[in-house]
Structure 1
Amino acid sequence: MMHLKRSVLAISALFLLGSGPLLAAPGKAAAPATLEAQAGGFSSYVLPNGFRIILAPFPAAANVRIELLVKTGSKLEGYGETGMAHLLEHMLFKSAGPRKDIKSDLTALGASWNGTTNAERTNYFETVAAEPDKVDAAIRIEADRFIRASFTKEHLASEMTVVRNELERNDSDAGSLVMRALQRQSYFWHGYSRPTIGARSDIEDAPFSALQAFHKKHYRPDNAALIVSGNFDAARVLALAGKLFAEARNPASPKITSWTREEARATTNRSELTLPAGKTIAASAWKLPGMTERETYALDLASSAICAEDWGSLRKELVLERKLAVSAYCGTQIQSDYSLLIASASAGKDADAEALSAALRGHLEKAAANGISAEQLERARQNELTAWERLESDHETLAPLLSQAELGGDWRLFFWQRDMVKAVTLAEANAALKKWLVAVNRSDVLLRHADGVSAPEIGKATPAAGLVRGKTWAPVAKSADPIPTSVGELARATQKITLDGDKARAALISRRTQGNLAWVVLANDYGNEATLSGRRAACAMGNNLLAYGGAGLSRDQLSAKLEALQAEWSLGLGGIVLEAPRQNIDAALDILLAAWAAPALPVNEFERIKSASIASLEAALKNPGNVAATQSGLRFDNYPAGHPLQPRPLEQQLAESRAVTLADATACVNDFAGIGHVRLAMVGAFTPQDVSATWSKIARLPAARIPYARVRDVAVPTTVDTTPIRISMPEKPNASITGAALLAMTDESPDFPALRIAVKILGGDADSRVWKRLRETDGLAYGAGVSLAGSSFEPRSRVTLQASAASDKSEAALAALQEELVRALKEGFTEQEVSRAKKAWAEERKNMLRAEKSFAGTLAQGLYTGHDYAWVAQYDAKIARLSTAEVNAALRKYLQDAPIVWAIGRGN
């Protein structure tokens, strides 16, 4: 995945990339776009050069998403080209035509942006405010990126090290290694067998000319599309995009296509890995037909009865009943040519890998042979359809699905897939399970011989055109209240409601939301310093356990009831977070309140939670970055022994987790699960009377046995051991580098806004000094930055400098971080840097205004800290008034003499 980065355009024409889409002859008028298809309120148009424009209007949205889709990925890479599609994705964030840095241009728009590569495609996308000028600017950026990319040899030399670091990060992750091995075993001929990241040798040694040639072959208008979703003027977007992308011409050579198919063979493949991961993992995969086959969706639906986290049989057997694993997962990966059903299970480092693997694959194949019930199929179907309904108010989630369908042959497959979910019968679902989930179609073990066995044959894919021709679908987007245009507007919309003095407070934003969703956050502050001391592990497990059933319902039954109400929820000692359609909120909340009042606290779930905690800590002890970060935190430990906020060594955390009993976890629930100090936040079509009625239900719950008092933090330590920390472990190619300091200030301190902007300039975004130095100029780090975490009460705020680099580059990355901090303290920041950071802050705040889902959480937090939307508006006004002198003074005041603990966790 592409992350933020910036570089300088090389001037020398010798190194300019001249192999992208050809430009049309100057002065020749472009032919208009032709309407190609319409469905669900969306439409697509085709230019004479084959470039497609897909428009998905959502008039109620507050923003617009623009995606440039290029239909090439790792499956089309040739010998010596592995990883080239992904590397090219990185290159196309460099210069283009008159643009020196595409990332800086996107950042200046206030855009949220990224790029991704997979087996099928490379895409570049950004989300901007629903302002016509910004939408126009984003489309112009994508046209320049596509037609006039001008990356250089110098860009490749710099970015190659970043991509290699990304490879090394993946090589440090046990789960990634297992999935890549499974991918290779699942396909013998097809390009899906190649991981997108590519081979190290190709990343390091591929010549610049090869990258140019790959770009010329694949980046052509008849192999690309522009997908625009959200709130925009369709005629304006179509006219501009049509004019800009019509300039591109296809080369004389034909478009690269894929005709390679897998042969049906009765095989079971196996691969084994051995590495110090601190855990045991087993995984299996069964090959399935591709995206345009009804059978694929039949199996996808049917597998829910096995794979669903809350009610599926796999987790119940392997984790809860047999206790062979601490986690178990399965699900389908649907792609254009072939799909996979993937299952995996993990356990502690001493687990029997053979037994785990046998149990995993045995459960899937036995469950498939037995089939599922009509009730299970309908539950899975309803969950899928509920997810589809959510898309009606979420174009940013819907647009990538249109993109995926376009890769399958036609974007309208998006609607056809929903039709399949509605139409699949029980007989089809069980037939698909029995046909495809068989041992001779599986990857995980060695080849075995068996007479009279044949693998199911996957025929040629059904053409997408026949599946969608002549069909119509109802519009997807629904109306809603306009998204707020400022924090001040949210502040004015906020209603504070008195409930029960200091015992309970409430805040409400009443609005007609997208999709008529509503949110309730019931935050329950509990405990005090004395009663929470020494109980971190026990109460963490009790907190997790609380969600696993109650009021006579198992977790499965509880989940089923809430699924029927289309609810998303969480439940713990700290209260309830609930999202559901407004008409279902009251019923869903009643269920959760009843479960909270009478929790089940099942012993098998406790044992699973405890095992998972132990396995996680054992893995952390094998990760040098985690060990180094923990040791860094201990340097600032000036807490009384047992204080609830005291940092603890990983070994102590592991010992505490091993010692926790069900009685310990249950005691935490008994002490703290009642009503302590309530903060109630509600967003949606609610009235103040609705808030009072909700509180009347909550108030009937029993009070917590232990009174609540906020746990106070301690003062910043006066002395800190700043001896550098270096942790080395074998076979860890990636390193984590950090520098941490505690500051005697709160986010209410007069200097805090100025320090916030100083930190942003130093390392807070794509245009920051740390990012440019470590990622762009030196190519040392995949990620690098600086963060500021402010304390809202006691003066104990934290600044952290961090980078992720190859282990052999860790010392250089550390030196670069230190040098940039010293340079900032010595030279200060310029007027231009301060102005840029303030503008970027304002644009980021606009993005917050568009996330209705976050409003209730902000209201609840504001009731705790006092930082409500009115406070945020005042805070932003302070930032807008900051001078360069104030920003530089704050940086020097708090970081000039602050003791900083530098730490490196790396491979040796």
Structure 2
Amino acid sequence: MKPIRFPRPASWLGALLLLWSLAAGAVAAPLPGGAVAGPRMGGVAEYRFPNGLTTLIVSDFSKPTVTVNAVHRVGSALEGDGEKGLAHLLEHLLFKGTPSHPDIPKEIAARGGRANGNTWADRTCYFEVLPATAENLDWALSLEAERMSRGRITPELLDKERGVVLNEMEMGENDPAATLMDRMASVAYDWHGYGGSTIGNPGDLKSVTYREVVDFYRRHMRPDTATIVVAGAVDEAAALGAVAKHFAPLPKAPGQPPAGRSREVGQDGDRAVTLSRKGEVQALGLLYHGPAVSEPDAAAFDLALGVLGDAPSGRLYRRLVEKGLASSVWAASFGFRDPSGPAFVMAQVPRDRSLDAAQKVLLETVEGFAQDPPSEEELGRARERILLYLDSEFADLDRFALGLSEWIARGDWRLFFLYRDRIARATGEDLVRAARRYLVAENRTLGRFVPVDRPLRVVVSQPRPLEATLSTFVLSQEPKLGASFDVSCAALDRSVTRVEVAPGLKGAFFPRKTRGGMVSLRLSLHLGTPESLAGRVAVGEFLAGMLDRGTARHSREQIQQLFDRLRATVSFWGGADQVGVFVVVPEEHLEETLALVAECLKEPALDPREVEVLRRETLAALDESRDDPGSRAWDRLERIFAPYPAGDVRRPLSLEEKAEGTRVIDVPALRDFHRTFYGLSVGEVAAVGPFEPERLKDLLSRHFGAWRAATPFVRAVRPFEEVPPRRETLRVEDKPNAVVAASAPVKILRGDRDYPDLWVAATVLGGGWLDSRLATRIRHTEGTSYGVRLSLEASNLDDFGRWNFTAITGPRNVPLVERAFFEELQRALKDGFTPEEVARGTSYLLEGMKVDRSRDAALAGLLARDLFLGRTFAWTEELEARLRAVTPESALAALRRHLDPRSFSVVLAGDLKP
């Protein structure tokens, strides 16, 4: 799909403006809608309209999508008494349509895009990511202008959406650590709205009236509290004109925007809260009030938290995780707009370890920071991690456009660049000063009570005016911007270079100019045979987790430091029969990064101490999964649909088997697995980015060409087998949320004649974006589930497919959700689908495939997959043609051939009392 390329005014208007600017007393041409140009920085241009609306335009043709992000400066911090959760509830309601857009999910699906909204303390945002066409941009702006001014809110919709939000609240209550953080915040704040949960108070949500919701909407949804971000393949002048068309006519709201913020006056003593409920893993937390993110010492404060909380080099990791006192730790500041925003330090502690011992070390480490200044090495590591995150966000245009929501909410979008510069310049003395002010007992809220001898009031400074600082700020270096490319299958096949890198290793390289100059690379190695891997599944999965935890030449800490210095995001993954790595790195650091990746794959140290650390982390994660209804339900279904004997590589381990296997794994077993199976037998590597293909081929050949596997790869075949239906209930006590999960076998390959018809039918029934039949009934009409989905699982090589259904709901609503699911299946089998449904589902799938090809990481994955399957994008082009040929009649016929509601196995999980 071609990007939006509106007529550029530079050809004639630009020349005219230049002449005007050279003339004495010249007056610039007026901008659309009376807009006034504001500051520019880092490829972002700001404009303001007379009604108070701000718009930010980021013109970048590196990918054929456009993102519209409407940021409204209203969140939980602005809610008054009786309104707790109203900002989030309003977010839900404003997806129910507008006069010109009565069915938002259907419209977004028909355009092949994705959309969502979310609410936090200082803002609510709504966004759409669409293929870049002028029509799509106009549609998204029209939707957001009407959502701001004419959202459809009725008493009936309010009553239905209450149930959905309450179900979402129940879902969050399943996580004890997240709930503990909410409780700590409620104790830490005397006055400010930061002490309240964004999702709200169940009492307020149940009792709020229609009139109160409408009043809240009219008070807060207004042009002078909104910023419209337009980013992507759009011409700046044309994008500004499109924004003006829809938003400039909106009248200026009367009076001043709601303030509603009570300031904290400072904390004068430590506080404590205890949460008691069932769970498998203990959690310990500290909350400290911190500076507003606009303040100069906010960067130093965040760096101090990085020195403390980074893994595996942070102080807390070394003193708690490596010593066996905790299974995991992290520390971070939320960086809110107002002073006193929360910074959390959290630790997970296994049930068989002492919470008191972990608490003692945690407090000594955090509150002793000012007396133990960071070394240059510690500061450098923390700085590189934060810069890596900021740079990777900037390099991904979609992430950057959506991430601007936070900086807008914090006071000004330019804070993104100012904060980055402050991170780069902060010194160890700055960190000590911030720690001495904020990381003290008198400013602490602990997950349990701790007495203190000397009370000390900590007063957080008020933010300074931003304009004086930002007006003189200049970017130290202009970032790299990307270029557009044709994502059609035929164009990609013409542009991709496919080579044999080494015997057994196929390569697919797509050189192109990317945002931030990043290269995305995916390497996959296939391992062993079904016979040789029997009984070794747990060892193979564990070994993949050890690859970046030290080599023969570098410790785990050194590896992490090197990757951070190279600005490389590296993820190793794998199991018994496959291992791989995904890399995103600036092109100038590609060679060094590949050398280190090869070292990790070929020379893992398998240090016994690191084995014990990973063992504890894995067991803690498994304990958490056993306490989660969704994990329990799908763990059971995976076992039901893998009717193979114990030890078979095709049979997934249960949570209990994974735990047992993890407990007995030792270093000799790991070394033997690596020696026996790791190396090159069959593999694929794909890369997208600004590299030279021949040079990349030589690098890969040098590192992996001679590394041969001792055991050749033979794929484990999984033919279709009937699975007798069954129904099971799993009791997961003290969980307010439940899960309905169901699967049925289907004999299908992705290349089969019926697959496109079934794929469209599955999308209409339960896929897409909130507009499926199941979502319409269960979420929108009955309001009994926050999340509901039906999908078709099909392989490219084996015909053992599955229908998979899942819904999150309250225990009391389980029968309603299950009944609705089977009734909708029967209705589809009886009445079929409308032409509009089939057209919408087909469009959603086709546009989604195009969007995937436009994303560098996804494209690398598609290229690697097709290398393994021995095909090109011509196969995908044929699949797209078959999708376009799907009709209501063909979809219904295929569904009747391949779907039998009686064949579903159903697993219900939650606190389902008899």
For 1:694-731, what per-residue CA distance to the aligned partner results, in whole angstroms no more than 9, with x for missing partners? 343134554223222112224313x51x2321223332
Choose 290-299 or 393-402, whichever is displaced more.
393-402
Q: Aligned letter for 1:239?
A: G
Alpha-carbon contact 2:111-2:843 (below 8 Å) kept? no
Report the equivalent of 2:519.
518
Report the equivalent of 2:201.
199
SS of 2:712's partner is coil
SS of 2:265's partner is coil
Q: Aligned letter for 2:905?
A: V
* Distance in 1 of aligned mates of 2:76 and 2:517: 40
* Distance in 2 of aligned mates of 1:675 and 1:794: 24
SS of 1:737's partner is strand
Name structure 2 gaps, 5 residues minimum. Answer: 1-30
Report the equivalent of 2:672.
667
Choose 776-785 or 368-377, whichever is displaced more.
368-377
* Distance in 2 of aligned mates of 1:773 and 1:525: 43
Matched, 1:505 2:506: yes
Aligned residues: 875
Matched, 1:593 2:598: yes
Choose 174-183 or 653-662, whichever is displaced more.
653-662
In the TM superposition, what is the alpha-carbon distance from 1:139 to its structure 2 partner?
0.7
* Distance in 2 of aligned mates of 1:151 and 1:866: 53
Matched, 1:602 2:607: yes
Residue correspondence of structure 1 range 366-405 to structure 2 within 5 A: 366-405=368-407
Alpha-carbon contact 1:41-1:474 (below 8 Å) kept? no
Alpha-carbon contact 1:483-1:849 (below 8 Å) kept? no
Go from structure 1 to structure 2 and tell me whether the alpha carbon gap of 1:46 and 1:648 turns closer, same or farther (over 3 Å shift).
Answer: closer
Report the equivalent of 2:657.
652
SS of 2:347's partner is strand
SS of 1:531's partner is coil
Q: Aligned letter for 2:152?
A: S
For 1:78-125, what per-residue CA distance to the aligned partner results, in whole angstroms no more than 9, with x for missing partners? 111100000001111112233312333333332221111011011111
* Distance in 1 of aligned mates of 2:312 and 2:452: 37
Matched, 1:458 2:463: no
> Which of 458, 473, 476 is the equivalent residue of 2:475?
473
* Distance in 2 of aligned mates of 1:630 and 1:427: 50
Residue correspondence of structure 1 range 53-452 to structure 2 within 5 A: 53-320=55-322, 322-337=323-338, 338-444=340-446, 445-446=448-449, 448-451=451-454
In the TM superposition, what is the alpha-carbon distance from 1:77 to its structure 2 partner?
0.7
For 1:405-446, what per-residue CA distance to the aligned partner results, in whole angstroms no more than 9, with x for missing partners? 322332222222123123322221222122221111111043
SS of 2:421's partner is helix
TM-score, reference length from structure 1: 0.92
Report the equivalent of 1:6.
none
Name structure 1 gaps, 5 residues minimum. Answer: 1-28
Go from structure 1 to structure 2 and tell me whether the alpha carbon gap of 1:54 and 1:641 turns closer, same or farther (over 3 Å shift).
Answer: closer
Go from structure 1 to structure 2 and tell me whether the alpha carbon gap of 1:628 and 1:131 turns closer, same or farther (over 3 Å shift).
Answer: closer
Go from structure 1 to structure 2 and tell me whether the alpha carbon gap of 1:706 and 1:240 turns closer, same or farther (over 3 Å shift).
Answer: closer
> Which of 785, 795, 811 is the equivalent residue of 1:807?
811
Choose 753-762 or 861-870, whichever is displaced more.
861-870
Alpha-carbon contact 2:829-2:896 (below 8 Å) kept? yes
* Distance in 2 of aligned mates of 1:196 and 1:319: 31
Report the equivalent of 1:880.
884
Residue correspondence of structure 1 range 21-40 to structure 2 within 5 A: 32-40=34-42
* Distance in 2 of aligned mates of 1:597 and 1:728: 44
In the TM superposition, what is the alpha-carbon distance from 1:375 to its structure 2 partner?
3.0
* Distance in 2 of aligned mates of 1:753 and 1:265: 62
Alpha-carbon contact 1:484-1:849 (below 8 Å) kept? no
SS of 1:335's partner is coil
Report the equivalent of 1:848.
852
Alpha-carbon contact 1:64-1:129 (below 8 Å) kept? yes
In the TM superposition, what is the alpha-carbon distance from 1:182 to its structure 2 partner?
2.0
Q: Aligned letter for 1:532?
A: L
Alpha-carbon contact 2:109-2:841 (below 8 Å) kept? no
Residue correspondence of structure 1 range 774-789 to structure 2 within 5 A: 774-789=778-793
Report the equivalent of 1:696.
701
Q: Aligned letter for 2:381?
A: R
For 1:245-273, what per-residue CA distance to the aligned partner results, in whole angstroms no more than 9, with x for missing partners? 23333454432114522122321111111
SS of 2:716's partner is coil
* Distance in 2 of aligned mates of 1:239 and 1:682: 38
Choose 102-111 or 183-192, whichever is displaced more.
102-111
Alpha-carbon contact 1:787-1:799 (below 8 Å) kept? yes
Choose 352-361 or 142-151, whichever is displaced more.
352-361
* Distance in 2 of aligned mates of 1:57 and 1:298: 32
Alpha-carbon contact 2:572-2:582 (below 8 Å) kept? yes
Choose 170-179 or 358-367, whichever is displaced more.
358-367
Report the equivalent of 1:13.
none
For 1:264-295, what per-residue CA distance to the aligned partner results, in whole angstroms no more than 9, with x for missing partners? 23211111111112111111111111122111
Go from structure 1 to structure 2 and tell me whether the alpha carbon gap of 1:752 and 1:103 turns closer, same or farther (over 3 Å shift).
Answer: closer
SS of 1:797's partner is strand
Alpha-carbon contact 1:773-1:816 (below 8 Å) kept? yes
SS of 1:248's partner is coil
Report the equivalent of 1:45.
47
Report the equivalent of 2:11.
none
In the TM superposition, what is the alpha-carbon distance from 1:50 to its structure 2 partner?
1.4
Matched, 1:737 2:740: yes
Once superposed, what is the RMSD of the aligned Cα atoms? 2.2
Matched, 1:727 2:710: no
TM-score, reference length from structure 2: 0.92
Q: Aligned letter for 1:450?
A: D
Report the equivalent of 1:485.
487
Alpha-carbon contact 1:409-1:465 (below 8 Å) kept? no
Q: Aligned letter for 1:763?
A: G
Report the equivalent of 2:547.
546
Report the equivalent of 2:756.
753
* Distance in 2 of aligned mates of 1:521 and 1:53: 37
* Distance in 2 of aligned mates of 1:592 and 1:251: 56
SS of 2:256's partner is coil
For 1:724-764, what per-residue CA distance to the aligned partner results, in whole angstroms no more than 9, with x for missing partners? 21223332111111120122222122211111111111111
Alpha-carbon contact 1:82-1:202 (below 8 Å) kept? yes
Residue correspondence of structure 1 range 627-642 to structure 2 within 5 A: 627-642=632-647
SS of 2:656's partner is helix
Go from structure 1 to structure 2 and tell me whether the alpha carbon gap of 1:438 and 1:876 turns closer, same or farther (over 3 Å shift).
Answer: same
SS of 1:600's partner is coil
> Which of 887, 894, 909 is the equivalent residue of 1:905?
909
Q: Aligned letter for 1:236?
A: A
Report the equivalent of 1:794.
798
* Distance in 2 of aligned mates of 1:726 and 1:267: 48
* Distance in 2 of aligned mates of 1:474 and 1:557: 29
Alpha-carbon contact 1:551-1:597 (below 8 Å) kept? no
Report the equivalent of 2:21.
none
SS of 1:44's partner is strand
In the TM superposition, what is the alpha-carbon distance from 1:536 to its structure 2 partner?
1.6
* Distance in 2 of aligned mates of 1:136 and 1:312: 48
In the TM superposition, what is the alpha-carbon distance from 1:474 to its structure 2 partner?
6.8
SS of 1:303's partner is helix
* Distance in 2 of aligned mates of 1:625 and 1:684: 38
* Distance in 2 of aligned mates of 1:238 and 1:688: 39
Go from structure 1 to structure 2 and tell me whether the alpha carbon gap of 1:809 and 1:388 turns closer, same or farther (over 3 Å shift).
Answer: closer
In the TM superposition, what is the alpha-carbon distance from 1:662 to its structure 2 partner?
2.9
Alpha-carbon contact 1:74-1:120 (below 8 Å) kept? yes
In the TM superposition, what is the alpha-carbon distance from 1:613 to its structure 2 partner?
2.3
Alpha-carbon contact 2:319-2:361 (below 8 Å) kept? no
Alpha-carbon contact 1:30-1:247 (below 8 Å) kept? no
SS of 1:545's partner is coil
* Distance in 1 of aligned mates of 2:704 and 2:263: 63
Matched, 1:571 2:572: yes
Alpha-carbon contact 1:737-1:902 (below 8 Å) kept? yes
Go from structure 1 to structure 2 and tell me whether the alpha carbon gap of 1:757 and 1:446 turns closer, same or farther (over 3 Å shift).
Answer: same
